[in-house]
Structure 1
Amino acid sequence: MPVEFLAAEQRSRYGCYAGEPSPEQLVLYFHLDDRDRALLEPRRHAHTRLGLALQLCTVRFLGTFLSDPTDVPHNVVLTLASQLNIADVTVLSRYREGEMRYDHVHEIMAEYGYQDFASQPEHFRFLRWLYTRAWWSEERLTVLFDLAMAHLIDRKVLLPGVSVLERAISSVREHASRRLWQLLAAIPTPPQRALLETLLEVPAGERQTPLDRLRRGPTRVSGPALVDALHRVEAIRLFEMEHLGLSFVPRGRLKALARHATTALFQHLRNLAHDRRIATLLAFTSTVISSSLLISCR
């Protein structure tokens, strides 16, 4: 499974402003409430109040602090300056050059409950959430990445480096997949596993594997299609797989494995690791029985 899976454009947008926030986002993330104002009002200088407000709203919106806290869209600066009654926004240059901005990061984290990505127990909770998501769904890695970002921001956990988050998602997804393959591969008996392996062998005198024939299912409801469906069911029933307990497996994950068996070349399937190969073939046979029985009952 790939460790780095984001496109270059996605990586460049991570943890920074990708254009100006919308009016709705400005209202949601850049409105200073009473708690925010209580933090800002004691500051004597305009550049301190505006810079601190920028850092506060930026971490609320992006889930991270910027190395240059003033590197924000102009409409963000104007929105906050208007709320703070600061007419001259050029004072921000003083904030960018000062050292107080580093102290403000720790102050915001302490006041609003932000935590570093590696801090416990939040890190463990994040990995547990990620594993549960990876176990129950077959979402693309990029989708899982976006969901992980939203989860971290919602939990007030500062986003790590983009590669750190990519590696965490890849590792957890791989772990969940391996566990699924191991559990599925352990269900059939040794004779059943041997029968499943024969799906990838070309019988003597023939040019196709049994898998090639079985995965060409009927595409329409008709008399001949019904006969074909019944033949497929009878062929699969020779493997005695229909009574195996697969209810613990998320249907989406099972269908994804079966779909892989349906589309991949049999040479590729044959080269899979043992547990993954057996799990894929078992998912395929289970799905074929279900779909063929559905057609035969119409």
Structure 2
Amino acid sequence: MDSGSATDGSYGRFDGSPSRSDLERFFFLDETDPSHIRVRRGDHNRLGFAVQLTTVRYLGVFLVEPQNVPAVVVGHLREKLGLSAAVDLDQYVMRPKTAYEHSWEIRDAYGFRVFESPAVGEEFRRFLDGRAWTHAEGPAALRDQAIGWLRRHRVLLPGSEITSRDTTQASPTRPRTSFSNTP
């Protein structure tokens, strides 16, 4: 999956259609999802909620324009929800506040955290500093690791410039000690 690679420019957005294995890995509906989806009024809102939920799992962000998700994702979720092909996201985005409200509900119900939280920032900096100390990686590789850490810890991705800045600045807080056998 290249949804967060530092080298392909697709940070927090779709770069083409997800593979079949990515559809199965990220665009699934588990046993708790139907209870959150079922309460939506109208099939278009159920589909929109499912798109928002699975997209944040995959990309680490909520899309500003959820109707721009690849058609293969919409078709996959329609099938999972048992919706007809006539149901699309056009009606879902007619009221822009709906997608925004759904993103807040998903964030709260599924435990996604915002990067700006002081606790998250501290955890993230500890990870970056530890990674920089223990691995001989360049900034791009460190950024890829950072994005993976954010997604695994359900932290919504900040702007790409923030992740780039933080990984570029990651360095040990104290000088390394060199050990040698010479007196």
TM-score when normalising by structure 2: 0.89
Structure 1 residue aligned with 2:134? 136
2:18 counterpart of 1:42: no
**Residue 124 of structure 1, CA deviation:** 0.5
Point out where structure 1 has 5 or more consecutive residues left out of the alignment: 1-5, 188-240, 245-298
Structure 1 residue aligned with 2:145? 147
Aligned positions of 1:189-204 closer than 5 A: none
- The C-alpha deviation readout for 1:169-196, integer Å capped at 9, x for no partner, is 1111xx32x8436x45xx8xxxxxxxxx
Contact 1:56 1:108 in 2 (8 A): yes
Counterpart CA distance in 1 for 2:118 and 2:25 is: 29
- Select which of 161, 169, 175 maps to 1:180: 175
Counterpart CA distance in 1 for 2:145 and 2:126 is: 14
2:181 counterpart of 1:242: yes
2:66 counterpart of 1:66: no
**Residue 38 of structure 1, CA deviation:** 0.8
Contact 2:56 2:62 in 1 (8 A): yes
Counterpart CA distance in 2 for 1:30 and 1:160 is: 22
Q: Of Structure 1 and Structure 2, which has the larger fraction of its residues in helix?
A: 1
**Residue 97 of structure 1, CA deviation:** 2.2
Counterpart CA distance in 1 for 2:111 and 2:86 is: 29
**Residue 147 of structure 1, CA deviation:** 0.8
The ranges of structure 1 where at least 4 consecutive aligned residues each deviate by more than 2 angstroms after the TM superposition are: 88-91, 178-181, 241-244
SS at match of 2:99: helix
Counting aligned pairs with the same residue, the percent is 34
**Residue 40 of structure 1, CA deviation:** 0.4
AA at the equivalent of 1:66: L
- The C-alpha deviation readout for 1:14-56, integer Å capped at 9, x for no partner, is 1011111111111111111121111001112011000000000
Counterpart CA distance in 2 for 1:17 and 1:41 is: 26
AA at the equivalent of 1:242: N
Based on CA coordinates, which of the two structures has the bigger radius of gyration?
1
Counterpart CA distance in 2 for 1:20 and 1:159 is: 20
- The C-alpha deviation readout for 1:92-149, integer Å capped at 9, x for no partner, is 1011221211100110000000011111312201110110000111101111111111
AA at the equivalent of 1:170: T
Structure 2 residue aligned with 1:271? none
Contact 1:30 1:80 in 2 (8 A): yes
Contact 2:128 2:167 in 1 (8 A): yes
Structure 2 residue aligned with 1:294? none
Counterpart CA distance in 2 for 1:89 and 1:242 is: 75
Counterpart CA distance in 2 for 1:25 and 1:105 is: 21
Counterpart CA distance in 2 for 1:18 and 1:27 is: 17
Contact 1:116 1:157 in 2 (8 A): yes
- Select which of 167, 170, 173 maps to 1:169: 167
SS at match of 2:58: helix
Contact 1:81 1:89 in 2 (8 A): no
Contact 2:66 2:89 in 1 (8 A): no
**Residue 90 of structure 1, CA deviation:** 4.9
State the Cα RMSD in Å: 1.8
Are the structure 2 counterparts of residues 73 and 26 from structure 1 closer, same or farther at C-alpha, using a change threshold of 3 Å? same
Counterpart CA distance in 1 for 2:14 and 2:134 is: 32
Are the structure 2 counterparts of residues 34 and 18 from structure 1 closer, same or farther at C-alpha, using a change threshold of 3 Å? same
